[in-house]
Structure 1
Amino acid sequence: MQSNYASSGQQPQEWSVGFCDCFSDMKTCCTACWCPCITFGQIAEIADKGSTSCGASGALYTLIMFITGCPMLYSCFYRNKLRKQYNLVGGGCGDCFRHCCCETCALTQEYRELKNRGFDPSIGWHANVERNPGLAMAPVVEKGMSK
Protein backbone atom coordinates (compact mmCIF):
# COMPACT_ATOMS: atom_id res chain seq x y z
CA MET A 1 0.00 0.00 0.00
CA GLN A 2 2.84 2.41 0.75
CA SER A 3 4.12 2.37 -2.83
CA ASN A 4 0.84 3.88 -4.10
CA TYR A 5 1.44 7.00 -2.07
CA ALA A 6 5.22 7.30 -2.24
CA SER A 7 5.12 9.60 -5.27
CA SER A 8 2.77 12.10 -3.58
CA GLY A 9 4.81 12.18 -0.38
CA GLN A 10 1.61 12.29 1.68
CA GLN A 11 0.20 9.69 4.00
CA PRO A 12 -3.20 8.37 2.94
CA GLN A 13 -6.23 9.78 4.75
CA GLU A 14 -9.01 7.81 6.37
CA TRP A 15 -12.41 7.74 4.67
CA SER A 16 -14.72 10.35 6.20
CA VAL A 17 -17.37 7.67 6.87
CA GLY A 18 -17.03 4.03 7.83
CA PHE A 19 -17.74 1.16 5.48
CA CYS A 20 -20.66 -0.11 7.58
CA ASP A 21 -22.09 3.33 8.34
CA CYS A 22 -24.52 3.04 5.45
CA PHE A 23 -27.58 2.96 7.72
CA SER A 24 -26.95 6.52 8.94
CA ASP A 25 -28.04 7.70 5.47
CA MET A 26 -31.08 5.55 4.74
CA LYS A 27 -32.03 7.33 1.52
CA THR A 28 -28.65 6.64 -0.12
CA CYS A 29 -28.50 3.16 1.40
CA CYS A 30 -31.93 2.24 0.01
CA THR A 31 -31.12 3.65 -3.43
CA ALA A 32 -27.80 1.76 -3.47
CA CYS A 33 -29.58 -1.42 -2.41
CA TRP A 34 -32.60 -1.33 -4.74
CA CYS A 35 -31.16 0.65 -7.69
CA PRO A 36 -27.37 0.45 -7.44
CA CYS A 37 -27.07 1.57 -11.06
CA ILE A 38 -28.32 5.04 -10.04
CA THR A 39 -25.93 5.43 -7.12
CA PHE A 40 -23.04 4.07 -9.17
CA GLY A 41 -23.82 6.35 -12.11
CA GLN A 42 -23.82 9.41 -9.85
CA ILE A 43 -20.49 8.40 -8.28
CA ALA A 44 -18.93 7.66 -11.67
CA GLU A 45 -19.98 11.01 -13.16
CA ILE A 46 -18.28 12.89 -10.29
CA ALA A 47 -15.21 10.63 -10.32
CA ASP A 48 -14.85 11.12 -14.09
CA LYS A 49 -15.33 14.89 -13.69
CA GLY A 50 -18.25 14.90 -16.10
CA SER A 51 -16.54 13.06 -18.95
CA THR A 52 -19.15 10.30 -18.64
CA SER A 53 -22.75 10.91 -17.65
CA CYS A 54 -24.63 9.32 -14.81
CA GLY A 55 -26.97 7.71 -17.31
CA ALA A 56 -24.22 6.18 -19.44
CA SER A 57 -22.34 4.81 -16.42
CA GLY A 58 -25.53 3.50 -14.84
CA ALA A 59 -26.57 1.84 -18.09
CA LEU A 60 -23.18 0.15 -18.46
CA TYR A 61 -23.37 -1.01 -14.84
CA THR A 62 -26.82 -2.50 -15.55
CA LEU A 63 -25.61 -4.16 -18.75
CA ILE A 64 -22.66 -5.74 -16.93
CA MET A 65 -25.04 -6.87 -14.18
CA PHE A 66 -27.35 -8.61 -16.66
CA ILE A 67 -24.55 -10.18 -18.70
CA THR A 68 -22.19 -11.31 -15.94
CA GLY A 69 -24.18 -10.98 -12.74
CA CYS A 70 -21.15 -9.24 -11.22
CA PRO A 71 -21.40 -5.45 -11.65
CA MET A 72 -18.96 -5.07 -8.76
CA LEU A 73 -16.19 -5.97 -11.18
CA TYR A 74 -16.85 -2.56 -12.75
CA SER A 75 -17.74 -0.54 -9.65
CA CYS A 76 -14.62 -1.54 -7.71
CA PHE A 77 -12.50 0.30 -10.30
CA TYR A 78 -14.32 3.52 -9.49
CA ARG A 79 -13.68 2.99 -5.78
CA ASN A 80 -10.02 2.68 -6.66
CA LYS A 81 -10.23 5.85 -8.75
CA LEU A 82 -11.86 7.82 -5.91
CA ARG A 83 -9.35 6.48 -3.42
CA LYS A 84 -6.46 7.66 -5.57
CA GLN A 85 -8.06 11.06 -6.33
CA TYR A 86 -8.45 11.82 -2.63
CA ASN A 87 -5.45 9.87 -1.30
CA LEU A 88 -7.63 7.59 0.82
CA VAL A 89 -6.54 4.50 2.74
CA GLY A 90 -6.99 1.22 0.92
CA GLY A 91 -5.76 -0.85 -1.97
CA GLY A 92 -6.92 -2.45 -5.20
CA CYS A 93 -7.68 -5.88 -3.73
CA GLY A 94 -9.47 -4.31 -0.77
CA ASP A 95 -11.55 -2.17 -3.13
CA CYS A 96 -12.78 -5.23 -5.03
CA PHE A 97 -13.25 -7.23 -1.83
CA ARG A 98 -15.47 -4.51 -0.33
CA HIS A 99 -17.62 -4.34 -3.46
CA CYS A 100 -17.91 -8.14 -3.62
CA CYS A 101 -18.85 -8.44 0.08
CA CYS A 102 -21.37 -5.61 0.21
CA GLU A 103 -21.98 -3.55 -2.91
CA THR A 104 -24.59 -1.47 -1.06
CA CYS A 105 -22.19 -0.46 1.74
CA ALA A 106 -19.37 0.28 -0.72
CA LEU A 107 -21.53 2.48 -2.95
CA THR A 108 -23.06 4.26 0.04
CA GLN A 109 -19.62 4.96 1.52
CA GLU A 110 -18.33 6.37 -1.78
CA TYR A 111 -21.45 8.52 -2.28
CA ARG A 112 -21.20 9.91 1.25
CA GLU A 113 -17.46 10.54 0.86
CA LEU A 114 -18.20 12.72 -2.16
CA LYS A 115 -20.94 14.54 -0.23
CA ASN A 116 -18.53 15.16 2.65
CA ARG A 117 -16.07 16.63 0.17
CA GLY A 118 -18.64 19.20 -0.98
CA PHE A 119 -20.22 17.40 -3.94
CA ASP A 120 -23.88 16.63 -4.43
CA PRO A 121 -23.67 13.54 -6.65
CA SER A 122 -27.42 13.65 -7.29
CA ILE A 123 -27.13 16.84 -9.39
CA GLY A 124 -24.19 15.75 -11.55
CA TRP A 125 -20.76 17.16 -12.30
CA HIS A 126 -21.73 20.25 -14.27
CA ALA A 127 -24.25 21.48 -11.69
CA ASN A 128 -21.62 20.97 -8.98
CA VAL A 129 -19.14 23.06 -10.96
CA GLU A 130 -21.74 25.81 -11.42
CA ARG A 131 -22.31 25.80 -7.67
CA ASN A 132 -18.59 25.79 -6.89
CA PRO A 133 -16.39 26.88 -9.84
CA GLY A 134 -13.23 25.84 -7.93
CA LEU A 135 -14.10 22.20 -8.58
CA ALA A 136 -13.20 22.53 -12.26
CA MET A 137 -9.57 23.42 -11.61
CA ALA A 138 -6.99 21.60 -13.70
CA PRO A 139 -5.41 18.58 -11.99
CA VAL A 140 -1.98 18.87 -10.43
CA VAL A 141 0.69 17.47 -12.76
CA GLU A 142 3.52 15.64 -11.07
CA LYS A 143 7.02 16.63 -12.03
CA GLY A 144 8.56 14.14 -14.38
CA MET A 145 11.39 14.00 -16.85
CA SER A 146 12.28 17.16 -18.72
CA LYS A 147 14.52 17.98 -21.66
Structure 2
Amino acid sequence: MSSSYVKLTKEQAAPTEDITPGELNQPIHVPQLNRKRCLECQQELPDSHNPPQDEPWMTGICGCAEDPESCKTGLFCPCVLYGKNMETLQGTPWQEDCAGHSCFLVSGAAMVVSLATCQMSPDTVWCIAEGLLCGWCIFAATISRGREQMQKKFHLEDSPCDSCWVHTWMHPCAICQEHREMKRLIIDVEKKEDTVIDPPSVQEMSTSTAVQPGNSSS
Protein backbone atom coordinates (compact mmCIF):
# COMPACT_ATOMS: atom_id res chain seq x y z
CA MET A 1 0.00 0.00 0.00
CA SER A 2 1.56 3.27 -1.06
CA SER A 3 1.65 6.12 1.43
CA SER A 4 0.32 9.52 0.51
CA TYR A 5 0.37 12.93 2.13
CA VAL A 6 -2.83 14.49 3.37
CA LYS A 7 -3.33 17.91 1.94
CA LEU A 8 -4.43 20.42 4.57
CA THR A 9 -6.93 23.11 3.90
CA LYS A 10 -6.41 26.75 4.79
CA GLU A 11 -8.39 26.31 8.00
CA GLN A 12 -6.25 23.33 9.07
CA ALA A 13 -2.85 24.81 8.17
CA ALA A 14 -0.83 26.35 11.01
CA PRO A 15 -0.32 30.12 10.84
CA THR A 16 3.15 31.02 9.67
CA GLU A 17 3.05 34.79 9.87
CA ASP A 18 3.80 34.73 13.65
CA ILE A 19 6.90 32.51 13.33
CA THR A 20 10.25 34.26 12.91
CA PRO A 21 13.18 32.54 11.15
CA GLY A 22 15.13 30.36 13.56
CA GLU A 23 12.48 30.46 16.28
CA LEU A 24 11.85 26.73 16.13
CA ASN A 25 15.56 25.88 16.39
CA GLN A 26 16.17 27.43 19.81
CA PRO A 27 17.78 25.17 22.47
CA ILE A 28 15.53 23.73 25.13
CA HIS A 29 16.48 24.24 28.76
CA VAL A 30 16.71 20.88 30.53
CA PRO A 31 17.41 21.34 34.27
CA GLN A 32 18.73 17.79 34.63
CA LEU A 33 21.59 18.54 32.24
CA ASN A 34 22.68 21.72 34.02
CA ARG A 35 23.31 20.26 37.45
CA LYS A 36 26.47 21.10 39.36
CA ARG A 37 29.18 18.49 38.87
CA CYS A 38 32.52 17.83 40.49
CA LEU A 39 35.39 18.89 38.25
CA GLU A 40 37.41 15.81 39.19
CA CYS A 41 34.91 12.90 39.06
CA GLN A 42 31.93 14.57 37.28
CA GLN A 43 29.60 13.44 40.06
CA GLU A 44 26.39 15.43 40.50
CA LEU A 45 26.41 17.84 43.43
CA PRO A 46 23.41 19.23 45.33
CA ASP A 47 22.21 22.73 44.55
CA SER A 48 23.23 23.89 48.02
CA HIS A 49 26.87 22.87 47.46
CA ASN A 50 29.40 25.69 47.60
CA PRO A 51 32.96 24.98 46.40
CA PRO A 52 35.67 25.55 49.02
CA GLN A 53 37.37 28.91 48.90
CA ASP A 54 41.08 29.19 48.16
CA GLU A 55 43.12 29.56 51.33
CA PRO A 56 46.40 31.44 51.85
CA TRP A 57 49.69 29.59 52.03
CA MET A 58 50.88 28.63 55.50
CA THR A 59 54.28 30.21 54.84
CA GLY A 60 55.31 33.12 52.65
CA ILE A 61 57.35 32.95 49.49
CA CYS A 62 60.36 34.34 51.38
CA GLY A 63 59.91 32.20 54.49
CA CYS A 64 62.76 29.84 53.62
CA ALA A 65 64.31 30.26 57.08
CA GLU A 66 61.39 28.38 58.64
CA ASP A 67 62.79 25.13 57.22
CA PRO A 68 66.61 25.44 56.96
CA GLU A 69 67.05 21.94 55.53
CA SER A 70 64.79 22.50 52.51
CA CYS A 71 66.25 26.00 52.13
CA LYS A 72 69.77 24.60 51.71
CA THR A 73 68.57 21.92 49.29
CA GLY A 74 66.58 24.40 47.21
CA LEU A 75 69.49 26.82 47.03
CA PHE A 76 72.31 24.42 46.15
CA CYS A 77 70.39 21.45 44.64
CA PRO A 78 67.02 22.76 43.41
CA CYS A 79 66.62 19.82 41.04
CA VAL A 80 66.62 17.37 43.98
CA LEU A 81 64.04 19.35 45.94
CA TYR A 82 61.85 19.70 42.86
CA GLY A 83 62.00 15.95 42.29
CA LYS A 84 61.00 15.32 45.91
CA ASN A 85 58.05 17.68 45.55
CA MET A 86 56.81 15.93 42.42
CA GLU A 87 57.21 12.55 44.09
CA THR A 88 55.03 13.69 46.99
CA LEU A 89 52.46 15.33 44.74
CA GLN A 90 52.20 12.87 41.85
CA GLY A 91 53.75 9.68 43.22
CA THR A 92 56.37 9.47 40.45
CA PRO A 93 60.01 8.60 41.22
CA TRP A 94 61.85 11.76 42.15
CA GLN A 95 64.84 10.83 39.97
CA GLU A 96 62.84 11.38 36.75
CA ASP A 97 61.81 14.97 37.48
CA CYS A 98 65.20 15.67 39.04
CA ALA A 99 67.00 14.55 35.86
CA GLY A 100 64.89 16.74 33.57
CA HIS A 101 65.26 19.73 35.86
CA SER A 102 69.02 19.34 36.19
CA CYS A 103 69.58 18.86 32.44
CA PHE A 104 67.99 22.20 31.67
CA LEU A 105 69.83 24.04 34.44
CA VAL A 106 73.20 22.53 33.51
CA SER A 107 72.78 23.33 29.82
CA GLY A 108 71.70 26.88 30.64
CA ALA A 109 74.63 27.39 33.00
CA ALA A 110 77.03 26.08 30.34
CA MET A 111 75.70 28.60 27.83
CA VAL A 112 76.10 31.44 30.33
CA VAL A 113 79.70 30.42 31.05
CA SER A 114 80.46 30.23 27.35
CA LEU A 115 79.07 33.73 26.86
CA ALA A 116 81.25 35.07 29.66
CA THR A 117 84.49 33.37 28.61
CA CYS A 118 84.40 33.04 24.83
CA GLN A 119 84.97 36.03 22.60
CA MET A 120 81.91 36.42 20.41
CA SER A 121 80.46 39.19 18.35
CA PRO A 122 77.76 41.33 19.98
CA ASP A 123 75.15 40.01 17.56
CA THR A 124 75.97 36.41 18.49
CA VAL A 125 75.88 37.21 22.20
CA TRP A 126 72.53 38.93 21.80
CA CYS A 127 71.02 35.99 19.89
CA ILE A 128 72.22 33.48 22.49
CA ALA A 129 70.95 35.69 25.32
CA GLU A 130 67.52 35.88 23.70
CA GLY A 131 67.48 32.11 23.33
CA LEU A 132 68.38 31.66 26.99
CA LEU A 133 65.65 34.07 28.06
CA CYS A 134 63.01 32.33 25.94
CA GLY A 135 64.19 28.93 27.17
CA TRP A 136 63.94 30.05 30.78
CA CYS A 137 60.38 31.29 30.24
CA ILE A 138 59.40 27.94 28.71
CA PHE A 139 61.11 26.14 31.59
CA ALA A 140 59.24 28.24 34.18
CA ALA A 141 55.90 27.65 32.44
CA THR A 142 56.52 23.89 32.47
CA ILE A 143 57.69 23.76 36.07
CA SER A 144 54.77 25.90 37.28
CA ARG A 145 52.29 23.18 36.31
CA GLY A 146 53.22 21.30 39.46
CA ARG A 147 52.45 24.39 41.55
CA GLU A 148 49.12 24.84 39.77
CA GLN A 149 48.25 21.20 40.42
CA MET A 150 49.13 21.65 44.07
CA GLN A 151 46.98 24.79 44.36
CA LYS A 152 44.05 22.98 42.76
CA LYS A 153 44.41 19.94 44.99
CA PHE A 154 44.78 21.79 48.30
CA HIS A 155 42.71 24.89 47.35
CA LEU A 156 45.54 27.41 47.66
CA GLU A 157 45.41 30.91 46.25
CA ASP A 158 47.81 32.49 43.77
CA SER A 159 50.39 34.11 45.99
CA PRO A 160 52.20 36.41 45.53
CA CYS A 161 51.18 36.25 41.84
CA ASP A 162 50.53 33.74 39.07
CA SER A 163 52.39 30.42 39.32
CA CYS A 164 54.28 30.96 36.07
CA TRP A 165 55.59 34.36 37.17
CA VAL A 166 56.52 33.01 40.60
CA HIS A 167 58.74 30.33 39.04
CA THR A 168 60.10 32.79 36.48
CA TRP A 169 61.44 35.29 39.00
CA MET A 170 61.68 33.31 42.27
CA HIS A 171 62.15 29.69 41.26
CA PRO A 172 64.26 28.50 44.26
CA CYS A 173 61.96 30.28 46.73
CA ALA A 174 58.90 28.78 45.00
CA ILE A 175 60.02 25.16 45.26
CA CYS A 176 61.03 25.71 48.90
CA GLN A 177 57.59 27.13 49.67
CA GLU A 178 55.88 24.21 47.92
CA HIS A 179 57.99 21.74 49.90
CA ARG A 180 57.10 23.38 53.23
CA GLU A 181 53.41 23.51 52.35
CA MET A 182 53.16 19.85 51.34
CA LYS A 183 55.20 18.82 54.36
CA ARG A 184 52.80 20.52 56.76
CA LEU A 185 49.68 19.37 54.91
CA ILE A 186 50.85 15.76 54.94
CA ILE A 187 51.62 15.98 58.66
CA ASP A 188 48.12 17.34 59.33
CA VAL A 189 46.52 14.52 57.31
CA GLU A 190 48.56 11.89 59.15
CA LYS A 191 47.53 13.34 62.50
CA LYS A 192 43.87 13.13 61.52
CA GLU A 193 44.26 9.54 60.34
CA ASP A 194 46.10 8.53 63.53
CA THR A 195 43.44 10.01 65.80
CA VAL A 196 41.76 7.07 67.52
CA ILE A 197 38.49 7.48 69.37
CA ASP A 198 38.04 4.77 71.99
CA PRO A 199 34.57 3.24 71.92
CA PRO A 200 32.52 3.35 75.11
CA SER A 201 33.00 0.48 77.49
CA VAL A 202 30.50 -2.35 77.29
CA GLN A 203 27.99 -2.19 80.11
CA GLU A 204 26.64 -5.49 81.34
CA MET A 205 23.88 -6.07 83.81
CA SER A 206 24.98 -8.09 86.79
CA THR A 207 22.94 -11.14 87.78
CA SER A 208 23.12 -10.08 91.41
CA THR A 209 21.08 -6.93 90.79
CA ALA A 210 18.26 -6.78 93.29
CA VAL A 211 14.73 -7.06 91.90
CA GLN A 212 12.50 -4.16 92.79
CA PRO A 213 9.45 -5.12 94.89
CA GLY A 214 7.03 -3.47 92.49
CA ASN A 215 8.37 -5.54 89.58
CA SER A 216 8.28 -8.91 91.36
CA SER A 217 5.66 -11.35 90.22
CA SER A 218 3.01 -12.44 92.72
- Per-residue CA deviation, residues 95-137 of structure 1 (Å, 9 max, x unaligned), is 0111111111101100000111125xxxxxxxxxxx89x6xxx
Indicate the RMSD between aligned Cα atoms, in angstroms.
2.6
- Given that 1:28 and 1:108 are in contact with CA atoms closer than 8 Å, whether structure 2 keeps it comes out as yes
Q: Distance in 1 between matches of 2:80 and 2:69?
A: 12
Q: TM-score, normalised by structure 2?
A: 0.47
Q: Which consecutive residues of structure 1, in runs of 5 or more, have no partner in the other structure? A: 1-5, 120-130, 135-147
Q: What is the count of residue pairs matched by the alignment?
A: 114
Q: How far is 1:33 from its partner?
A: 1.1
TM-score (norm 1): 0.68
Aligned to 1:32: 74
| Structure 2: runs of 5 or more not aligned | 1-37, 40-49, 109-131, 194-218
Aligned ranges for residues 1-147 of structure 1 at < 5 Å?
9-48=51-90, 50=91, 52-65=92-105, 66=107, 70=136, 71-90=139-158, 94-118=162-186
CA distance in 1, matches of 2:97, 2:104: 11
3-state SS of paired residue (1:11):
coil
Mapped to 2, the partners of 1:64 and 1:96 lie a distance apart of: 17
- Bigger relative contact order (CA 8 A; separation at least 6): 1
Alignment partners' CA distance in 2, 1:47 and 1:84: 12
Q: How far apart are residue 23 of structure 1 and its match?
A: 2.0
Which aligned runs of 4 or more in structure 1 are off by greater than 3 angstroms? none
Identical-residue share of aligned pairs (%): 26
The answer to whether the 8 A contact 1:22-1:29 is kept is yes
Greater Cα offset, 12-21 or 60-69:
60-69
Deviation at 1:63? 2.2
Q: What is the CA distance between 1:60 and its match in structure 2?
A: 1.2
Amino acid at match of 1:113: E
What SS class does the counterpart of residue 12 from structure 1 fall into?
A: coil
Counterpart AA for 1:33: L
Alpha-carbon distance, 1:45 to partner: 0.9
Q: Which secondary structure state, in structure 2, belongs to the residue aligned with residue 117 of structure 1?
A: helix
How far residue 73 of structure 1 moved from its aligned partner, in angstroms, is 3.2
Match of 2:175, as an amino acid? L
